Chains A and B, each alone.
Chain A
Amino acid sequence: MTQRTPNKTDIGLSDLLIALADLPWQTEAHKKAIFHALGFAWQDSKPDAIDSSSPRQIFDRNRYQQRPSIKSVSNTPPGFSPPPPPPVPIELPQLILNSQLKVLDAVPEEAPEWLNQDNVLLADEKPQVKAARANLFPNLTHRGILSAALRVQKRGKDVDIPRLIKHVTKGQIPKIVPTHTAVTLERGCQLLLDYSDSMVPFWEDLTALADQVQNVLGKERVKIYEFDQDPTAGQCWDNPLAAEPWRTDDTRPVLVASDLGINGGRVRWPVGATWRRFIVLCSQKQIPLIVLIPWRSAYWPEIHSSHPIMVHWNPHTTATMIKKRVGAGHQIQS
Chain B
Amino acid sequence: MSWHTPSQFDKEFLANLRAKLSPDLLALAQYMALASRIEPLLLRNMRTAMMPASEPELDTSFGLAILLLRVVRWISY
Q: Which residues of A contact B (CB under 8 A)?
A: 131-134, 136, 198, 200-205, 259, 263-264, 294-296, 299, 313-315
Q: How far is the CB of B41 from the nearest CB of chain A, in Å?
A: 6
Please report the total number of B residues contacting A with Cβ < 8 Å: 15
With both beta carbons as reference points, the residue of chain B lying nearest to A259 in the complex is identified as: B60
With both beta carbons as reference points, the residue of chain A lying nearest to B52 in the complex is identified as: A315
Asked if B45 contacts A134 (CB within 8 A), the reply is yes
Give the 3 A-B CB pairs with smallest separation, nearest first. Answer: A201-B59, A134-B48, A295-B57
Asked if A204 contacts B41 (CB within 8 A), the reply is yes
In the bound complex, CA of A260 to CA of B61 (Å): 15
Asked if B57 contacts A263 (CB within 8 A), the reply is no
Total CB contacts across the A-B interface at under 8 A: 49
| A259 partner residues in chain B, CB cutoff 8 A | 60
Asked if A202 contacts B64 (CB within 8 A), the reply is no
- Contact partner of B43 among A132, A201, A294, A315, CB < 8 A? A201
Asked if A204 contacts B40 (CB within 8 A), the reply is yes
| B77 partner residues in chain A, CB cutoff 8 A | 200-201
List 17 additional contacts besides A202-B59, A204-B41; criterion CB under 8 Å: A131-B45, A132-B45, A133-B41, A133-B44, A134-B44, A134-B48, A136-B56, A200-B63, A201-B59, A201-B63, A201-B77, A204-B40, A264-B60, A295-B60, A296-B55, A296-B57, A314-B55
Q: Which residues of B contact A (CB under 8 A)?
A: 40-41, 43-45, 48, 55-57, 59-61, 63-64, 77
Q: How far is the CB of A296 from the nearest CB of chain B, in Å?
A: 6
Q: A296-B55, A299-B57 known; A201 and B45 CB under 8 Å? A: no
| B63 partner residues in chain A, CB cutoff 8 A | 200-201
In the bound complex, CA of A29 to CA of B56 (Å): 110
Enumerate 28 A-B pairs (CB-CB under 8 Å) in ascending A order. A131-B45, A133-B45, A134-B44, A134-B48, A198-B60, A201-B43, A201-B59, A201-B60, A201-B63, A201-B77, A202-B59, A203-B40, A204-B40, A259-B60, A263-B64, A264-B57, A264-B60, A264-B64, A294-B56, A294-B57, A295-B55, A295-B57, A295-B60, A299-B57, A313-B56, A314-B55, A314-B56, A315-B56
